[in-house]
Structures are given as C-alpha cells and as structure tokens.
Chain A
Amino acid sequence: MIRISNLVKRYGDQEAVKGLSLEIPSGQLVGLLGPNGAGKSTTIRMLTGMLAPTSGTAEVEGFDVVNQPLEVKRIVGYVPESGALFEALTALEYLTFVAALYHIPENESRPRIDQFARFFDLDDATLTGKPMSAYSKGMRQKVVITSALLHNPRVVFFDEPLNGLDANAALSFKTLITSLAHEGKTIVYCSHILDVVERMAERVVIIHKGRIVADGSVAGLEAETGEKSLERVFNKLTATENLLARAEEFARALSQ
C-alpha cells in the first residue's frame, strides 16, 4: 500500500509537486503518466526515500518516507530514468555489490543473478568479462532492472524502464512486470510510451504541472473524457494548444 497525502516539493519559488494525494493498494499495477517536468520523477524519488518532501506525508507499506527512509528503501525497488550504474565494474561485480547492500549473501545472490541473466539473455562472458562501460544501452538497462529486483522488493518503481531495450527484451520485460503484479507486488510504472501503459496498467494516474488531473482505469478515463484512446485522453488533459500548427511552423523555419 502506498499512501500519499498533500505531498509538496518546492525548489525555491518553484513547486514541482503541488499537494499530491493518492492511495495505491498492495498488488496494484499503476501507470503514472505526465508530460515532461510534470513531477513524476520527483514524486517517485520522494516515495523511494531519496528526496525529502517539503510538506505532506507519504507512506510505503506503512513506513513513513521521511521518518523511516531505510525501512522504505529495504522494501522498494527502483529503476531510475538515468539508468546510472558503476560502469567500471562488470555486471556480476555490480550486482553482487547491490546484493551486499541488502545483506544478501553471495551464495544466495549468485543464483538470483544467474536467473536474471538467463532471462535477459546475458551470457556468462558478458556478465563477468567486461566492464559495463563497454555495454550497449540496452544491456546496461537490463542490469539496472536486475539490480532493482534482486532483493525481491514488495513495491517497485519503474521510471522509463524500456529505455534502450530491444523489442524482444521489452516484450520479456512486460511479461515479467505482469507476472510480478500477479504475485502481489505493487508496481508504479512511469512511461511516455502510452500504449504499453494502456495494455498493462489496471489504473492510470496522470500528473500535470505537479497536480493529479486524472485517476482511474483506462476505460473509465476514456468514458469520462469522451476520448477513444489513452493517448487522446493524455493529449486532451495535458497538451498545450495548436500542436499541429506549431509543428508546421517549426518545419517551415527549418527549411528557410
């Protein structure tokens, strides 16, 4: 269960998140959508205990993110949008390191790492033979995803997890997410690829300018707004006007 009440994050005079309130029951797969700069990543960072809120409260599985950040961090997994990892390490070294941070002994972590490696088609030579700086973006993303799931978290936050994944890996990953949700894990999935969210998420929350502007099932939102797809709903609620005219003007300016 994730419970957010009046959550605010302010930077100087800029309010990135403006009094967000939300409840996500355990085992739900929620798509968190919003245009660039809407406050999605900031919200996730507050929920993972990485960033202190300016005001308001947030609880993850009953733990307060401000007063019990370590308890929160033990039960959440997070795939950051940046895909940052220690690139000078091999994948095996990095994943063993992450496992140690969760006190998973090596004799337990290695089988889990091997399992993920098989799932993502990473062979042993890739896993141990070269630093991750030599990996493709997709291979790095596979390691980032593995590192978020290694400790079997109860709540998982994915921020643009499909970044760099090829079509096969993306398909496997989407299946994995659905399986995780069936196992009762709470999943918050942030993405700009709306059709993926449309197909997987049982509930969609749309944030715009730091506020929730829509919350419900895909079908419910479509009915509410009178639109025929999630993309149209999203566009209606968050897009600035005259997109088409602006695009044509931009193209004309380039050709001049």
Chain B
Amino acid sequence: MSLAGADRVDGVQLRALLRTIFRARTRARRTLGRSGKPRGLVFLIVVYAIMGGLTGLIANFVGDVFTFAIVVGGMSMFLAGMTMVAESSALLFNAEEHDILGHRPIGPRTLLLARALSLYGLTLLLTLSLNLIPFISGLWAPGARPWFPLAHLLVIALLSLFCSGAVVFVYVVLTRLVGRERFDSMASWFQLGVSITFILGSQIVPRMIERVNGFHLSPERPWLMILPPAWFAALETLLAGSPQASELPHLLPMAAAGLAATVALGYAAVVRLSGDYARRLASLSETPVKLRPEPEIAHAKRGGIARAFRPAWDALMRAWMPDPVERAAFRLTTAYMRRDRDVRMRLYPSFASYLVFPIIAAIDPQRMAIMPLLTIVMGAMLPASSMMTLKTSTHFMAGEVFRYTPLAGTAALFHGVRKATLLFMALPVLLISGTLLLAVLHDRTWLIAIVPAVVLLPTFSLIEGLVGDYLPLSQPPQMGRQGAINIGLYLMSVLLVGGLSAAGWFAHRMGWFGILIGVELAVVVALHLTLLRGIRVRKLAPLE
C-alpha cells in the first residue's frame, strides 16, 4: 500500500474525492419526506445559455475580436463569479464534511485541490453554458480566424480557472490572516469584496466601449491593464484575432498578466497555503460560540444599553407582529442572519450589487441615468432572494420542528422571515444605495420614472409565500440553487421593473403620470391583498 505524504497530492484520493463531492452536491437530497430535485443547476445552465446567446449576438456589431472577447469574457466573469462566490462557502468550508473526512488520512493539499477543482468544475460548467453561442458567433467578429472556437474554449477555461483560483486564494489567505474568532465575520466581508470586484470588473469595461464604426474598445487604453477581462480578451485576440502591429505591445503584456495571475493564484492557494486551510477547516467544526472574552466594563455597558432599549424594542415588535409565531420566526431569522456562517456567506454577497451600481453611476456620467432603475431592480430582488436563501440551512433537519408543532399554515412563519429581511436587509441597503445615488446623480428627472417600480416593491416580496410551504431554514443547501435564485429573480425583476419604469417615463412625457400611478396603486393594492389572503389561507401540506 502506498500512501502519499502531507506535502504531495494523492491521485487516488483526489479522484475519489472529486467523484464523491460531485455526486453529493448534484444529487437529489430527501428532506423531511420530500425529495429535492437538483433543479437549480439545470435552470442555471439553461438561463446562462440563453443569456450567453443574447450576448453572443453582439459579434455582428463589434469592431474587432478584442471588443467581442472583452464583453463576453466580462459577462462570463460576472455571472460565473457571482454563482461561485455563493457556492464557495459550502464547498470550501463545510463543517459537517469535516466529521466525515477529518479523520481520514487525506493530506491538506489533496483535500484543498479536490475542493478547488470542484469549484472550478462548477465555474467551467457555467461559463461553457454561457458561451455555447459565442463559441460560434465569435466567428462573425471582424478579424476572427477560423480556429476562433478552439481559442475561445481555451480562454474561457483559463478565465474560469482564474475566477475559481481567485476565490480559493482569497479564502485561504483569509484563513492565514484572521484567527478563528474573527473568521466568520471577516469571511462575509471578504465575500462581499470579491463580489464587488467581480461585478465592477465586468461592468466597467462595457461602459467604456466607444461607438465608432460599430462598438470598439482599443486595447491601447492603459487602464485596461488592471482589468482581468481585458487580460483574457488580449490572449484571445492574439490566438484567434487579427491584431494590428501597434496593438501588440499592449496585448502581449495583458495576455501575459492573465496567464501569470492564473498560475500564481493557483500555486499560492493550493501549494503554498494548503496547510493553513486544513487547520482552519478543523477549527470550524470545533470552536464554541463564545469565543472572545469581553472586558467586563464594556460588556456591562453594552448590556446596559441593550437592556434600556429592550422594552421599547419589544413593544415595537409586538405592535408590528402581534402573532407570537411570526415574532418567533422573525427572531429565528435574525439570529441566523447574524450568527450562522453558512447563511451569512450566501446572503451578504447580495449587498455587492447595491454598492456597485452607484459607483458605476459615479464613473460613467453618460449612462448614469439608468442607475436608479438598476438599483430598483436589485431592490425588488433583495427581499425575495433573501427569503429564498433563508429557506436553506445546513441545519435543515431542525426544520422538522415546524412539522410537529401545531401550525395550521405557514403564513406567520413567512411574514416573520419577510419582515426580518425587509428590516435588516432591504431597508439599510436601500438607504445606503439611495444616499449614494442622490450624491452622484445630477440629473434627477430620471427618478420620476422609477416611482411605479417603487410602488410595486412591497408586493414583490410576497411572491415567495405562494410557492410551496414556506418553512425557514428547512432545506439543505444544493449546488447551483443560490445562483439560480439570484438569476431567476434578477430576470423577473428586470422585466417587471423595466416595463414599469418605461411606462412611468412615457407617462411622464405625455403628462399622464398621475393617472398611471393612480391606476397602478389600485391594481397593486388589490394584488397585495389577494396575495396576503392566498398566503394566509394556505395550509401546511402533509409530507408525501
């Protein structure tokens, strides 16, 4: 029997781990008597293929391969990156899996490589789905060589490797820099930072494209050197485009930067830092909740303030949520939003979008009028996506409590969770992004267009209550589910909010704005009451 040491990768174990992680993450999982089919990943693949198909059509309009590659690469990086950030916590830091694998003779490098490759596999699956049409449509980009599809495949594989390598690297560095006590909170912030970087990196470039003889972005712009999508677009142009001689001094360093960054990130994460990863993984499942001794005075002061406000807060909560079941669901949800690492790491990257769009508004003054609209799209999405996220937990078996306690329906649970997300997610985020937008927007006439969409926001948060039994934290996390939720709601929000805002703008121009809002208010109030009734009368379905 030959077993590998801790410092090298064991091929037999790596293959076994990859096969098992893939099966465990993609197969149906029976929960509380129901079989959960892995629809999330399939949905995600189909949606990505459609979105990629639409993006791929720009090949007919772009001026060259570089512009095509940077737009498609940016889109791939954005969508795959967001899904990956949502999935990475469950893949890389799964405390439950430590009980299964922690006592087996697996070296830290083998374990980390298996998990990193699983993350890469997911990323590649998504980016390939997204690029099904662009593989072919890229041939229509001016200057594309006949072997463009092969070059594009190679570049997309590298770009996916870069994205997954970056995420793994960030987490592994975090495990080295931050002690166990602060890891959970820091991981959430790091995740937010990575999400912002992915969105910014992918959203800024398309906004800088000039409309000169079709859409064109010159690789000679110096700031492109710091944008990862440009690195891989440069590589693609060198492999399968027809760059001009004057562009080569700019393309070569960018392509080299992409290759070097990909190799460096992978090497540093998997080879240099795997020991730290193994140690952190071990501590995740072990450390008790109370970690840091707090100075007595500070503790007493904080306790004193909390005690002083407690009666007022309780009275406010009782007035807002007279039903004790609703208040209990509210408290359960807020506890998980604050304390549970898995929930936090799936929930908080949603914040990134809110912070990014105002930033883009500030740096892209020509197109900033669209920013309030985009922020409202995200605003519509946030409570609904948060509520879907809060259906899932690694402690899903505890959801049985809703089955054996005398609950006639799920309305109280649903409203408790909804109010928690409105108060602690939607409200602060809308306040921050609204303030940022007001600070950077000079032409505020566009704000009038979003009023019809704002009117719809409270009703939008009720939709989740009509889809099956809403039992908080009662479903196991499943690969692709979070990404599917985000993308699905995003598309629905874009259609609804976009349509309403277009109608608002048109009505404003025609002088019918008051009539539109009046009619919309009447429809929305009726819809809201109907939805509330539907949720209230919905019975808790018995298990199959």
Residues on A lying within 8 angstroms of B by beta carbon are: 11-14, 16, 42, 45, 48-52, 69-71, 73-74, 76, 78, 80, 82, 84-89, 93-94, 97-98, 100-103, 131, 133-134
CB closest chain-B residue, reference A86: B24
Chain B residues, CB < 8 A from A52:
279, 282
A74 touching B3, Cβ below 8 Å:
yes
A97 touching B16, Cβ below 8 Å:
yes
A36 to chain B, nearest CB (A): 13
* A45 contact from B25, B29, B286, Cβ within 8 A: B286
Chain A residues, CB < 8 A from B97:
84, 86
CB closest chain-B residue, reference A44: B103
**Bound Cα distance A187, B77 (Å):** 52
18 more A-B residue pairs beyond the given contacts A50-B103, A84-B100, A89-B20, with a C-beta to C-beta distance below 8 A: A11-B286, A11-B287, A50-B282, A70-B6, A73-B103, A78-B103, A80-B103, A84-B97, A86-B24, A88-B23, A88-B24, A89-B27, A97-B20, A100-B12, A100-B15, A100-B16, A101-B17, A103-B3
B29 touching A101, Cβ below 8 Å:
no
B293 touching A13, Cβ below 8 Å:
yes
B9 to chain A, nearest CB (A): 13
**Bound Cα distance A203, B49 (Å):** 64
Q: Which of B2, B24, B104 has the most CB of A within 10 A?
A: B104
* A103 contact from B2, B181, B292, Cβ within 8 A: B2
Chain B residues, CB < 8 A from A87:
24, 29
CB closest chain-A residue, reference B100: A84
* A93 contact from B3, B23, B282, B292, Cβ within 8 A: B23
B288 touching A84, Cβ below 8 Å:
no
Chain A residues, CB < 8 A from B17:
101
**A88-B28, A131-B29 known; A73 vs B104 contact (CB < 8 Å):** yes
Chain B residues, CB < 8 A from A14:
288, 290
A100 touching B13, Cβ below 8 Å:
yes
Chain B residues, CB < 8 A from A42:
286
A to B contact number (C-beta, < 8 Å): 104
**Bound Cα distance A133, B293 (Å):** 40
Chain A residues, CB < 8 A from B283:
51
Chain B residues, CB < 8 A from A131:
27-30
Chain B residues, CB < 8 A from A103:
1-3, 12-13
Chain B residues, CB < 8 A from A76:
103
Task: Provide 7 A-B residue pairs closer than 8 Å at the C-beta atoms, listed in order of the A residue.
Answer: A12-B181, A51-B283, A86-B24, A88-B27, A100-B16, A101-B101, A103-B12
**Bound Cα distance A84, B96 (Å):** 7
**A11-B291, A101-B105 known; A80 vs B99 contact (CB < 8 Å):** yes
For the complex of A and B, 3 pairs with smallest distance between CB atoms = A100-B16, A84-B99, A88-B27
Chain A residues, CB < 8 A from B107:
70
* B291 contact from A12, A69, A80, A102, Cβ within 8 A: A12
Chain A residues, CB < 8 A from B105:
70-71, 73-74, 101-102
A86 touching B100, Cβ below 8 Å:
yes
- Is B318's CB within 8 Å of the partner chain A? no
**A12-B181, A76-B103 known; A89 vs B3 contact (CB < 8 Å):** no
**Bound Cα distance A82, B15 (Å):** 26
* B5 contact from A48, A70, A73, A85, Cβ within 8 A: A70
Chain A residues, CB < 8 A from B104:
73, 98, 101-102
C-beta contact mask, B290-307 vs A, less than 8 Å → 1, else 0? 111100000000000000
Chain B residues, CB < 8 A from A93:
20, 23
B27 touching A97, Cβ below 8 Å:
no
Chain A residues, CB < 8 A from B286:
11, 42, 45, 51
**Bound Cα distance A94, B17 (Å):** 11
